[in-house]
Amino acid sequence: MRKPSEMPAIADLRNAPRLARDFFDRDPVTVARELLGKLLVRRERRQLLAGRVVEAEAYLGAADPAAHAFNGRTPRNAVLFGPPGHAYVYFIYGNHYCTNVSCMPQGEAGCVLLRALDPVAGIAAMATNRDLEFPPEPRPAQFRRIAGGPGRLSEALGITRERDNGKDFTSSRSDLWLADDGYRPARVVTTTRIGVTKAANRRLRFLIADNRSVSVGARE
């Protein structure tokens, strides 16, 4: 039933080292691909909520018409022009927050959009954040509804622009971080990005094949 490698106990979660600054100080394509299988962790009160990154998209900054940074620096996207490893959170479609990690050296505005998590800890709390029922014996499709999509992911971990934009993912004081517990995905699939109309042919979306929590299937 449960896959042990995808369900680390809380004790393992606390011991998983946080990703360091130099992990993010690289091009977005490399960072997006290597983020697959890492853990996004939120400390909420005394509890840890966590999910494994199973889907991510690379945005290449000034060189990428689909990126928010393409038209230069604005108050909204200022985080992207700062040091790597910071949270860029924005509000979209009147309903949803999207969570990104800045990467590339300071001044180059690349980033990676975290599109989906496979829940591994604090699952009931994540479901509550999403206002969902989560039965003791959930079906695979019910995992996807928790954090299978950028808006769902952000809501499940309580991520908002007001609370988290600009937060340092690599700081030991941060209540939101990325960690590596040694898990490596068996097979990674590359597709075009979801919902973008500019540079729509670039294959900059990366996902773990056959994972129950990816937002949209690996088409084309």
The structure tokens listed for 173 are 């004081």
- Report the residue from 42, 52, 68, 205 that binds DNA according to the rule CB under 7 A: 68
- Report the residue from 151, 157, 202, 207 that binds DNA according to the rule CB under 7 A: 151
Least distance (Å) between residue 95 CB and DNA: 5
Establish if 136 lies at the interface with DNA (CB under 7 A).
Answer: no
The structure tokens listed for 121 are 């800890």
> Strand 176-179 relative to strand 188-191: parallel, antiparallel, unpaired?
unpaired
Establish if 174 lies at the interface with DNA (CB under 7 A).
Answer: no
Closer Cβ to DNA, 90 or 183, answer by number: 90
Under 8 Å between Cβ of 88 and 112: no
DSSP state of 193: P
Establish if 94 lies at the interface with DNA (CB under 7 A).
Answer: yes
**SS3 label, residue 198:** coil
- Report the residue from 35, 50, 67, 103 that binds DNA according to the rule CB under 7 A: 67
Between CA 40 and CA 219 the distance in angstroms is 26
Between CA 199 and CA 141 the distance in angstroms is 31
The structure tokens listed for 176 are 């939101």
Establish if 56 lies at the interface with DNA (CB under 7 A).
Answer: no
**Interface with DNA by CB under 7 A: which range of 74-82, 121-129, 174-182, 200-208?**
74-82
**Interface with DNA by CB under 7 A: which range of 42-50, 119-127, 151-159, 169-177?**
151-159
Between CA 67 and CA 175 the distance in angstroms is 27
- Token pair 């809380």 is at which residue? 10
Binders of DNA among 96-115, rule CB under 7 A?
96, 98, 100, 111, 113
Between CA 218 and CA 206 the distance in angstroms is 9
Least distance (Å) between residue 124 CB and DNA: 17
**Using H for helix, E for strand and C for coil, what is the string for 125-179?**
HHHHHCCCCCCCCCCHHHHHHHHECHHHHHHHCCCCHHHHCCCECCCCCCCEEEE
Closer Cβ to DNA, 66 or 188, answer by number: 66
- Report the residue from 91, 175, 191, 218 that binds DNA according to the rule CB under 7 A: 91
Least distance (Å) between residue 100 CB and DNA: 5
Q: Which residues bind DNA (CB under 7 A)?
A: 57, 59, 66-69, 71, 74-77, 88, 90-96, 98, 100, 111, 113, 130, 141, 145, 149-153, 161, 193-197, 215, 217
